């Protein structure tokens, strides 16, 4: 049976067939057979006609047709959201529709509605703002991603997240200045708006466009060159992150002139950010390990060969173990740690991939160096046959470990510089991480002297403490004071009249995070000032190191104090940072 032999069934056929089933018996069976056969024989035109007869075309189609571009994007163009602020009432129908269509979990949103307020007491102005992914020309999420879990369509310009590729590092949530990617803890991945691309491909409007009762959201095609030119004027949205950061394509239009004091409703609200404890441990311990290796290599070049041969194996092992612990801690930050091996895929564009690669190289070289130190040392219990081959190359191997670690540390700095946050600026982050490496590297070297005294060679350890202990302790004291002064300098922004991002951070440190700030200060004074000052006095007064148990206690307290202080400092580094964001609502 073909369409030429049998007319297409209409709605009346369906209704008549269903009502006559009981009366007609075999005729009903014949009708069902016809229906089943015709389902396989209908042409595309007949299917379209049937859908209209059965009212399967969305009722809103005639309304949202004008909210979609007439033609797909051409060369140099892409799709973009257009928001008419004069029409937005803040009803959040777009949020509900997005949530429902995409099957989001409770509390998960890909589109948000914020508010701008301004004007005067007699003429106040309030403006609702709806925002989702801006599908930027230069998306920071895609550039930052270490596993290439983002792609920007060359035809439509839509930025999609590839859920299967994501391993949940959450770096894109830090890199995006508009707080678009959202981490889904139970799934262990990040998810975001894709402009309902599957609906757009079929000529249907995205959920938010179709649901808005005021037609405040539309899909338009924009010229990429015009987006770039418009970003120079910074006319995006009052108090929103600068468009020059990522070149967002969303257009906000209005016929009104906003007052000069128009600001987000949550502009003066400050709240701590997520601290990322695995990253805190990873950063502090990697910088400790790099600093310890670097100081160890420098000392090894100045010590007598006998002392160096005794000191080198234990110190290299000590620094290596702490470095490996740091790398292990970093995997705890991943939502899907089994896919950690993907981390180097984005090495061409992602600083996180480069950090992973260089710290991986650092760990591999450090393991070989530590083994070589033991097997090439006269104090080593194993591998004396290797001594003649390994010993001449130890300085070169140690230098390679230090260089790889320092490059990895620089990549760590750039990871946070890329996010364009003032507290994480290049100068601030480089000094902060560098001082941490120097401080913890110095106190770990003193701890290695103590471990050498307890575990390997008390006489050689005494000579080391007497010979280089005092200059190292003096350096530790200077570094401890410098680091505390550097951290405390943030509080000077409290005097700023403007609510800058650094003032927000200072308000958090002196307010909601004051307990952590005092803990950081107390531990920093203990490990970086009090204990080094006491140790200097002990080293000046006592020549017989073995007879003074206070020295061992002082070194241990200095190491624990510095390590604890730096962990709290790094907690504040994450929790007190002021995150750029789109306008939000009123916060309690």
- Decide: 573 and 412 in contact? Cβ < 8 Å: no
In terms of DSSP bridges, do strands 150-152 and 124-131 run parallel, antiparallel, or are they unpaired?
unpaired
DSSP-assigned states of every residue in 41-80 = H--HHHHHHHHHHTT-S-TTHHHHGGGS-SS---TTEEEE
- Return per-residue pLDDT of the chain as tens, 588 residues: 444 444 554 545 545 544 554 455 566 667 777 767 766 666 656 665 666 566 655 555 665 778 899 889 999 999 999 999 999 999 999 999 999 999 899 889 999 999 999 999 899 999 999 999 999 999 999 999 999 999 999 999 999 999 999 999 999 999 999 999 999 999 999 999 999 999 998 888 999 999 999 999 999 999 999 999 998 887 788 888 999 999 999 999 999 888 989 999 999 999 999 999 999 999 999 999 999 999 999 998 888 767 888 898 999 999 999 999 999 999 999 999 999 999 999 999 999 999 999 999 999 999 989 988 887 643 433 344 434 444 556 788 889 999 999 999 999 999 999 999 999 999 999 999 999 999 999 999 999 998 998 888 888 888 888 888 899 999 999 999 999 999 999 999 999 999 999 999 999 999 999 999 999 999 999 999 999 999 988 876 544 555 567 888 999 999 999 999 999 999 999 999 998 888 887 665
The secondary element (H helix, E strand) that includes residue 125 is strand 124-131
Handedness of CA 24, 25, 27, 29 (dihedral sign): positive
- Strand ranges of the sheet holding 251-253, from the earlier edge strand across to the other edge: 217-223, 77-84, 251-253
Q: What global pTM score does this model have? A: 0.85
* Beta strands 189-191; 182-184: pairing state: antiparallel
Q: Which residues of 183-212 are buried (b: 16+ CB within 10 A; e: fewer)?
A: bbeeebbbbbbbbbbeebeeebbbbbbbbb
Q: Which residues contact 185 (CB under 8 A, 6 or more apart)?
A: 335
Question: Is the CA virtual torsion 301, 306, 311, 313 positive or negative?
Answer: positive
Decide if 79 contacts 156 (C-beta within 8 A). yes
**CB 553 within 8 Å of CB 522:** no
């Amino acid at each position: 049976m073909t369409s030429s032999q049998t007319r297409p069934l209409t709605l009346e056929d369906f209704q008549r067939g269903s009502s006559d089933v009981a009366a007609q018996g075999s005729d009903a069976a014949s009708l069902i057979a016809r229906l089943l056969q015709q389902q396989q024989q209908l042409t595309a035109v007949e299917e379209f006609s049937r859908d209209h007869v059965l009212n399967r075309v969305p009722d809103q189609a005639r309304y949202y047709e004008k909210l979609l571009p007439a033609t797909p994007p051409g060369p140099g163009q892409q799709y973009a959201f257009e928001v008419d602020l004069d029409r937005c009432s803040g009803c959040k129908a777009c949020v509900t529709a997005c949530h429902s269509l995409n099957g989001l979990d409770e509390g998960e949103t890909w589109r948000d509605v914020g508010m701008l307020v301004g004007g005067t007491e007699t003429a106040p102005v309030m403006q609702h703002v709806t925002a989702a992914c801006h599908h930027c020309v230069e998306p920071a999420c895609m550039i930052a991603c270490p596993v290439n879990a983002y792609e920007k369509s060359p035809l439509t310009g839509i930025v999609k997240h590839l859920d299967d590729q994501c391993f949940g590092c959450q770096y894109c949530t830090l890199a995006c200045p508009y707080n678009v990617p959202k981490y889904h803890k139970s799934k262990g991945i990040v998810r975001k708006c894709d402009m309902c691309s599957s609906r757009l491909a079929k000529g249907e409007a995205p959920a938010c466009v179709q649901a808005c009762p005021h037609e405040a959201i539309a899909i338009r095609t924009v010229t990429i060159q015009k987006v770039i030119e418009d970003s120079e004027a910074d006319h995006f949205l009052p108090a929103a992150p600068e468009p020059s950061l990522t070149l967002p394509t969303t257009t906000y239009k209005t016929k009104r002139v906003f007052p000069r004091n128009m600001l987000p409703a949550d502009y003066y609200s400050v709240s701590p950010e997520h601290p990322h404890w695995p990253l805190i441990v990873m950063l502090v311990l990697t910088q400790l390990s790099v600093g310890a290796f670097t100081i160890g290599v420098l000392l090894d070049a100045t010590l007598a060969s006998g002392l160096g041969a005794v000191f080198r194996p234990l110190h290299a092992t000590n620094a290596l173990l702490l470095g490996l612990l740091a790398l292990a801690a970093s995997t705890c930050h991943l939502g899907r740690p089994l896919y950690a091996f993907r981390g180097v895929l984005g090495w061409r564009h992602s600083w996180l991939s480069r950090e992973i690669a260089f710290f991986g190289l650092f760990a591999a070289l450090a393991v070989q160096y530590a083994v070589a130190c033991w097997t090439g040392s006269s104090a080593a219990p194993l591998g004396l046959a290797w001594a003649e081959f390994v010993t001449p190359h130890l300085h070169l191997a140690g230098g390679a470990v230090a260089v790889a670690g320092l490059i990895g540390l620089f990549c760590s700095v750039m990871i946070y510089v890329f996010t364009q946050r003032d507290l994480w600026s290049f100068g601030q982050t480089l000094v902060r991480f560098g001082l941490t490496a120097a401080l913890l590297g110095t106190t770990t070297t003193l701890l290695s002297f103590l471990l050498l005294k307890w575990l390997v060679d008390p006489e050689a350890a005494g000579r080391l403490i007497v010979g280089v202990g005092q200059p190292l302790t003096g350096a530790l004291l200077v570094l401890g004071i410098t680091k505390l002064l550097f951290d405390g300098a943030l509080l000077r922004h409290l005097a700023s009249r403007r609510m800058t991002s650094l003032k927000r951070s200072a308000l958090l440190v002196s307010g909601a995070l004051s307990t952590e700030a005092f803990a950081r200060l107390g531990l920093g004074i203990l490990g970086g000032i009090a204990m080094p000052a006491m140790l200097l006095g002990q080293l000046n007064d006592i020549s017989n190191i073995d007879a003074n148990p206070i020295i061992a206690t002082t070194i241990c307290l200095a190491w624990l104090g510095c390590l604890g202080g730096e962990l709290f400092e790094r907690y504040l580094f994450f929790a007190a940072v002021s995150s750029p964001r789109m306008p939000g609502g009123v916060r309690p």
